[in-house]
Structures are given as C-alpha cells and as structure tokens.
A and B are shown apart, each in its own frame.
Chain A
Amino acid sequence: MELLSGNEAFARGAYEAGVTVAAAYPGTPSTEILENIAARYKKDIYCEWSPNEKVALEVGAGAAQTGARVLVTMKHVGLNVAADPLMTLAYTGVAGGLVIIVADDPGMHSSQNEQDSRNYAIFAKVPMLEPSSSAEAKEFIKIGMDISEKYHTPVIVRSVTRISHSKGPVELCQRIQPRTEFGFVKNPQQYVTIPVWARKMRVQLEEKLGQMLQASNESPELNRIEWADEELGIITSGICYEYVKDIWPTASVLKLGWSNPLPDTLIKDFAAGVDKILVIEELDDILELRIKAMGIDCIGREFIPGIGELTPSVLRQCKAKMQGEEYIVPAPVEESKDLPARPPVLCPGCPHRGVFTVLAKNKVVVTGDIGCYSLGSLPPLSSLDTILCMGAGISMAHGMDKAKANHKVVGIMGDSTFFHSGITGLLDIAYNKGASTIIVVDNRITAMTGHQENPGSGKTLMGEDTIEASIEAIGRACGVKRVFSINPYDLAETSKVIETEINTNEPSLIVSKAPCPLAVGKPVGHKRNVDAEKCKVCGMCLKIGCPGMEGGEKGQVPKVNKLLCAGCGLCEQVCKFGAITMDKEI
C-alpha cells in the first residue's frame, strides 16, 4: 500500500495497464502525471512533452492506431486546444487503447476559467469516467483502457484539482504486459474521414454509444448503488462522492464512475428505491438536467452552488439549508481582518521583472498570456492588460494594431507558450503587414507549472539531449525582420531596445533571454544591501515588486531579506542614489 497523489496514481495506472506511449502538454493540475511516468516508468513507457495538447492528442491517436495502449493528459483548457482531433477521433475510433485524462480546476486555483469537461464527453460522444480517489484514479485508467479497446473509442477520464493533488492509499499491482508488435492495419473506410466514409462512421458511433449505454448500466465496479436510508438518495460522481460520505453518512448513494453514457436504468432503479433524490455535482448541472429529462423528479442546483468548487463545508451549509436550518462555516478570525494580502508574485531574481519594469514606465497596452509573467499584471508592476488564452498575447496585439487603436501595443508571452501557439500569431503579423512589438520572455523552461522541458530547453522528458529551438530563428523564418535578443537583467539595454521597437512602424520580435533561476537552482549573482546613509527613501526599489526587498513604515529605509535575495541587481539599477551595493555573499 502506498500513499499516492491522484496524479501519481494515474501514472501508476498507465504503467499497470501496459501503456507504451504517453504524451501531454503541462498544465496545472495535470502536470505531475507525465512527470511521474518519466521519473518512474520511462523504461517501459515512451513519454513526451508535446508542444501543445492538440499535438499530444494527435501523437496519441497515431500511436493508438498501431494497436498500442496510449495515455494523453492535459488540463481542462487544454482540451479546447485538442478538441479538433477529439471530435473526429470519436468517429474513426482507435485500434489500441486511448485514454485522455483531463484535469478540471473548479474554483480556478491555477486557471483562467472553470469550464466543466464533462460537456466534452457528451459533445464528442465518447465515454467519461470520473474517479473519486487516488485508488480509483489508478484503477479507472485500466478500466478505461479496456473500454477503449472493447468499443474502439477514445475514453476521457476526468480529474479535478482535489483528485490530482490529494493523496490517498493505493494498492499496487503488476503491469499487464503489452503486446510485442505494433503496426497500422490499413482500412481507409475506418480511418479516412472523407464524407462518404465519415457518414458511415457517424452511424457506427451511435451504435457504439448504444452498446456503451448498456455497459454503463451493468458495470458495478464503476456505477454502484450504496443502499442506506430510503428517505434521501444522492446521485453524485468524482470527488463529491467523498464529501457526500462525510456530510450525509446515512443517505443512500448512487455513485457514478462512468457518467457518459449516463446509466439510465440504474438511475431509474435508484429513484424507485428512495423518497427524494438530490444531485450533487461540481460546476454545471449536467446530471440534474439529464435526470430530469428522464422524467425523474430531483433537486440539485436550487441548493447546491454551480460556481466554484464544492467542499465539505459548502455541502454542510447546503444540507442545513435543505433542512431549513442555518450552518455558519467558521470564518477567518477578527484579528485577521487587517492582515496584508499575500498574493503570488514573481520570484526574487525572476528575469521577467526587468521587462515589466520597463513596460510599466511606458504608456503602452500589453496583451499578455498564460505563464509566470501573468503575475506582471499585479501591483506594483501592473503592466499586463489582457490574458485570454495560450497564444492570444501575440494575436490580440495584432488585432489592436489593425483596429488602429489610439495607443501602442506590446504582446508578451513565454517561450513554452510561444512554441505552444504563438508561432502562428507571429506569422500572421508578418504575413498581414502588422506592426506589433512582440516580446518573448525566454527562460528556456515551462516555469509556472513547475519547470517542464520544452522545445527550447535542449532536453526531452525522457532526459535525453535534443535540439534547442531558436525563437529568433523562428521569428526570422516567419518573415519578421527586426529580431533582437536582450539580457533582461541589463535594464538600460532592455529599456533601449523595447522603447525603440515600440516606436518602430513594422513588426519586431524581442527575445528576453535568461534562464529561470529556480530551474537552474543557483542565485543570479551577489546579494545586495541597502546603504542607509545614501538611501533617500524614494521607494523606487520597492516599485519593482521584489519579495526580497522589504519596505517598512513610511520614512523607513527598505531592507534586503537575505533569505530571499537572488542577486539579480535590478534594485541597484533602479536606485538613483547609488544606495544599493553588492554583498560579498552570493
């Protein structure tokens, strides 16, 4: 028995299921699944960080068509990127086993929206499994592979933050030995989706759904009724099942582990055995609406919130409300009311800080993107104005430019995001004669999700040396003529290049090059000190928003927190009085 996180358990499940190929693009809360495969099982499983989720799913589709068992993982918004191959892969089906883990983020702990991926299973007409614990996370990958192979369909396994990042006991089993030979068996009527054949696949897809509906009604290891009190029956799935067991320990429960196709007969049987049905689901009211459409009376959304994540406390409140009572969740204590907030910030020594310090001085609109540099939007830097999705940092800048906006626009994104979906936007700017200034903050790693390799890192997920894709060369190949590399720790140079390019009437690409100090594992340079005699307490060094520089009461000289200072020297460069000096210590 081992204590595994959901993500560790998913990785273990892939190993035990005999998976031989795994592909993903990192994204919280899904990232650690492939990291664990690389760390523990790469002898048996080829794994890769693909440049984006669409590529990952297409790699997975190709591998599965040779008969291999394949795992593809992503966060919820990644499935938007991979939606194109998903929709048609449901038509062609798969020869081997293909499980897609999609990790939702109710409550938006680390995401830009809280879309409910269960909609995709219905939309794409593919089965969806929803584990409730680490133990099920492992098991459902294996069951998912069986379903995938039996019905020749991709299977979506839905995780949420609290499944992926919670640990629980898991019993380990042997690996099912994969077949020894793989190969694509030509069958154009099955794999070539020209309309004449795709129309037949469309009909087959409905037939498969019918067979799977029957199976979901008859799969007690996935969908089970736990009979208890007859007064109240709760229908739930995923992590909510565990909360329900804590909050309504005496209720009858229908636990749905295979929620699409929805097991209609089982639901009817359950409804017949209880007086009242309560549906508990996180985010959209998918189960509730479908159960009501079956003509079964139930309650749900009127008591259970559809915004944000459900927790045991939230459900205890709902329970009280249903009983006409009030339950007040203990709130933060009175003494916490005036505490200073502690939002996430760019780390001490972060190379992005130099770029944002320059942008903050210039009157420009900055179209941003997803990554650590999202934090440039917060005070005191406050110099990032939009975040939409991966890639929009470049394309939206072009849109503002073409709308003839009455202000200058700078687009900014990271290296990994550039490889993910920035290249096409840059090509658009060059092709359609735009004039935007694009900055790629290139720290040679996918930092926000915890330092995953990308095509610029020179390493694969398998740990092998590989190419280091050049952003400058890609920019030139797209047709951008003004391409510059800058050192973001050199504020004068950074400032000069950015300001010149903002005022140039043709597209430019500025690559801000410095590795993430956390990834390198070394400070940038010598720690700094504040010379109290020279300091005029002007506050400039505090405007760069470095956690290593601590300001006190008004009029007090700021001081360097030596535990945090990474020695980047940016504070020294913004100080006009020479009051910040270098320490001997690195």
Chain B
Amino acid sequence: MSDNTTSIVLAGVGGQGILLASSIIAKAAMIAGFEVKMNEVHGMAQRGGSVIAQIRYGKNVHSPLVEEGTAKVFASLEQIEAIRFAHYLSPDGLAVVSTQTIVPVTVSMGSGKYPQDVKQRLEKIFKNLIIVDALGKANELGNIKVANVIVLGAISRGLDLPLETWHEAIKSEVKEKFADLNIRAFEAGRNS
C-alpha cells in the first residue's frame, strides 16, 4: 500500500467497453507525468462474464493489482457488478455507478434473482456515490457505445488529473472520427 499510489477499479460485464475506459485513465495519468500500471482480463472471462480492470498510478508503482479496500475511485458500468466488486473501494473513496442493467443468464434460468432494490443497496454501501444514467445520456448523444466514456467523465471528478490530460488521452485512445463524440460524452459524465 504505497501511500502515494492512486488505485482505480472498473467493473462491468464483458463487452461493455471497460478496456477502453481503463486505457484512457492510464493514458491520462501518463500524460500527467505519473508512472502507470494496469491490469485487464482477457480470454474466457470476457464472454459475457463479470470483469474488472485495475489501474494504479503514482511516482513509483510496483504491483499492477489493486488490493481490496484501497481504490480511490471505483466505477461500474453495470448496477449489480458495482455491488459485487464494491469491496475494492477504500472507505473514503468515490463510487460511480451506471444505471445500466444486464440480466445474467442465471436469472433467466431461475437460479438467481436480479435484485429490485439496487439503488437502496448502492446508497447503503457507498458513502460517496455518483449514479449516472450513462446509457440514457449516450442515447441522447446518438451512440450507445459511448456509455463507458460518460462513466469515465464522472470518474474524473474523483481524480486529481487536469482536464486537458483527459482530453488528450481520449484523442489518443479513440479513432479520430469519434474523438469529438467521446469528448462530449466525457463532458456529459463529468458534469453529471
């Protein structure tokens, strides 16, 4: 637990664009002059399963893995995944949760229930919580694929990286023709 290292954990469901969001955070931290390490999940775990990505930045970073209970910011692109991985957040950390719901196949099979009181649970778990209707906002922007970058905008409120590093990071990580759209998505999330 190096005191000067900032840890971030992103959760969601395989295919939601967690990897892009985490790459942008890593890039922004790098542009801001920090050493960065990150870890992501590939392979079997990606096929619609629960996934997390971990990013750490600071002056001198060793482990790419975040210890449970130490993340400064924790975000989830899916509601119940926020609950599943909530224990990564530090007691004073910021949680950002997208209201998107993806019902697991186990629910359809009758071997589990999607909880109806997600909002109450989130409010009980997280002291410092931003709930974002990322899918709704992405729809307003005309492309549901930017929901992840909207969440990223909200995440940025909990991190000490300058705004211009975020913009620069987005431009470097997305295709040029989607840069403007993604920057608007980021702003929508940052101002939510």
Chain A interface (Cβ within 8 Å of chain B)? 1, 3, 28-29, 31-32, 109-110, 133, 162, 165-169, 242-243, 245-246, 249, 311-313, 316, 329-333, 335-336, 338-347, 372, 374-375, 379-380, 448-450, 542-543, 545-547, 549-551, 553-554, 558, 561, 563-564
When the two chains form their complex, are residues A329 and B68 in contact, meaning their CB atoms are under 8 A apart?
yes
Q: Complex Cα distance A338/B41, Å? A: 24
Partner of B115, one of A339, A448, A549: A339
When the two chains form their complex, are residues B103 and A561 in contact, meaning their CB atoms are under 8 A apart?
yes
Q: How large is the interface on B (under 10, 10 to 19, 20 to 34, 35 or more residues)?
A: 35 or more
Partner of B37, one of A32, A167, A330, A553: A167
When the two chains form their complex, are residues A449 and B115 in contact, meaning their CB atoms are under 8 A apart?
no
Contact A379 B63, CB 8 Å, known A166-B39, A336-B83, A340-B114: no
Instruction: State which residues 44-98 of B face A: CB under 8 Å.
Output: 44-50, 61-65, 67-69, 80-81, 83-88
Minimum Cβ distance to chain A for residue B114 (Å): 6
When the two chains form their complex, are residues A342 and B108 in contact, meaning their CB atoms are under 8 A apart?
no
When the two chains form their complex, are residues A245 and B47 in contact, meaning their CB atoms are under 8 A apart?
no
B125 contacts partner chain A, Cβ-Cβ < 8 Å: yes
Q: Complex Cα distance A6/B68, Å? A: 23
Partner of A344, one of B45, B84, B85: B45
Given contacts A109-B44, A167-B36, A550-B108, 19 further A-B contacts (CB under 8 A): A110-B43, A162-B39, A168-B37, A168-B64, A243-B63, A246-B1, A313-B68, A329-B67, A340-B107, A341-B106, A342-B104, A345-B48, A379-B106, A450-B42, A543-B109, A547-B48, A547-B102, A551-B109, A563-B144
B110 contacts partner chain A, Cβ-Cβ < 8 Å: yes
When the two chains form their complex, are residues B49 and A343 in contact, meaning their CB atoms are under 8 A apart?
yes
Minimum Cβ distance to chain A for residue B54 (Å): 9
When the two chains form their complex, are residues B83 and A335 in contact, meaning their CB atoms are under 8 A apart?
yes
Across the interface, which residues of B come within 8 angstroms of A545, CB to CB? 105, 108-109
Chain B interface (Cβ within 8 Å of chain A)? 1-2, 13-14, 26-27, 30, 35-50, 61-65, 67-69, 80-81, 83-88, 102-115, 121, 124-125, 144
Across the interface, which residues of A come within 8 angstroms of B108, CB to CB? 542, 545, 549-551, 558
Contact A29 B109, CB 8 Å, known A245-B62, A316-B67: no
| Shortest Cβ-Cβ A-B pairs, 8 listed | A340-B112, A28-B43, A110-B43, A330-B69, A166-B64, A551-B108, A344-B49, A344-B47
When the two chains form their complex, are residues B30 and A342 in contact, meaning their CB atoms are under 8 A apart?
no
Q: Complex Cα distance A334/B80, Å? A: 13
Contact A343 B63, CB 8 Å, known A110-B44, A332-B87, A336-B83: no
Q: Complex Cα distance A545/B47, Å? A: 13
Contact A550 B107, CB 8 Å, known A246-B1, A332-B86: yes
Q: Complex Cα distance A109/B37, Å? A: 20
Q: Complex Cα distance A341/B84, Å? A: 10
Across the interface, which residues of A come within 8 angstroms of B106, CB to CB? 340-343, 379
Partner of B46, one of A243, A249, A311, A344: A344
When the two chains form their complex, are residues A342 and B43 in contact, meaning their CB atoms are under 8 A apart?
no
Q: Complex Cα distance A1/B26, Å? A: 13
When the two chains form their complex, are residues A340 and B113 in contact, meaning their CB atoms are under 8 A apart?
yes
Task: Using CB atoms, name the residue of chain A closest to B54.
Answer: A166
When the two chains form their complex, are residues B113 and A333 in contact, meaning their CB atoms are under 8 A apart?
no
Task: Using CB atoms, name the residue of chain A closest to B60.
Answer: A245
When the two chains form their complex, are residues B87 and A331 in contact, meaning their CB atoms are under 8 A apart?
yes
Task: Using CB atoms, name the residue of chain A closest to B103.
Answer: A550
Task: Using CB atoms, name the residue of chain A closest to B47.
Answer: A344
When the two chains form their complex, are residues B44 and A344 in contact, meaning their CB atoms are under 8 A apart?
yes
Partner of A3, one of B26, B46, B109: B26
When the two chains form their complex, are residues A340 and B47 in contact, meaning their CB atoms are under 8 A apart?
no
When the two chains form their complex, are residues B36 and A168 in contact, meaning their CB atoms are under 8 A apart?
yes
Partner of A330, one of B68, B83, B104: B68
Across the interface, which residues of B come within 8 angstroms of A345, CB to CB? 47-49, 105
Q: Complex Cα distance A549/B102, Å? A: 11
Across the interface, which residues of A come within 8 angstroms of B121, CB to CB? 335
Across the interface, which residues of B come within 8 angstroms of A372, CB to CB? 47
When the two chains form their complex, are residues A242 and B110 in contact, meaning their CB atoms are under 8 A apart?
no
Across the interface, which residues of B come within 8 angstroms of A543, CB to CB? 109
Across the interface, which residues of A come within 8 angstroms of B109, CB to CB? 379-380, 542-543, 545, 551
Across the interface, which residues of A come within 8 angstroms of B87, CB to CB? 330-333
Across the interface, which residues of B come within 8 angstroms of A338, CB to CB? 112-113, 115
When the two chains form their complex, are residues B62 and A246 in contact, meaning their CB atoms are under 8 A apart?
yes
Task: Using CB atoms, name the residue of chain A closest to B124.
Answer: A335
Task: Using CB atoms, name the residue of chain A closest to B29.
Answer: A3
Kindly name the residue among B27, B63, B67, B107 whose own CB sees the greatest number of chain A CB atoms within 10 A.
B63
Across the interface, which residues of B come within 8 angstroms of A332, CB to CB? 84-87
When the two chains form their complex, are residues A342 and B13 in contact, meaning their CB atoms are under 8 A apart?
yes
Minimum Cβ distance to chain B for residue A248 (Å): 11
Across the interface, which residues of A come within 8 angstroms of B88, CB to CB? 330
Minimum Cβ distance to chain B for residue A413 (Å): 17
Minimum Cβ distance to chain B for residue A336 (Å): 5
17 contacts between A and B (CB under 8 A): A29-B42, A109-B44, A110-B44, A166-B37, A166-B65, A167-B36, A168-B36, A169-B35, A333-B86, A336-B83, A336-B86, A342-B106, A344-B14, A375-B47, A450-B43, A547-B102, A561-B103
When the two chains form their complex, are residues A551 and B104 in contact, meaning their CB atoms are under 8 A apart?
no
When the two chains form their complex, are residues B41 and A162 in contact, meaning their CB atoms are under 8 A apart?
no
When the two chains form their complex, are residues B30 and A3 in contact, meaning their CB atoms are under 8 A apart?
yes
Contact A312 B104, CB 8 Å, known A162-B39, A166-B39, A338-B113: no
Task: Using CB atoms, name the residue of chain B closest to A332.
Answer: B87
When the two chains form their complex, are residues A336 and B84 in contact, meaning their CB atoms are under 8 A apart?
yes
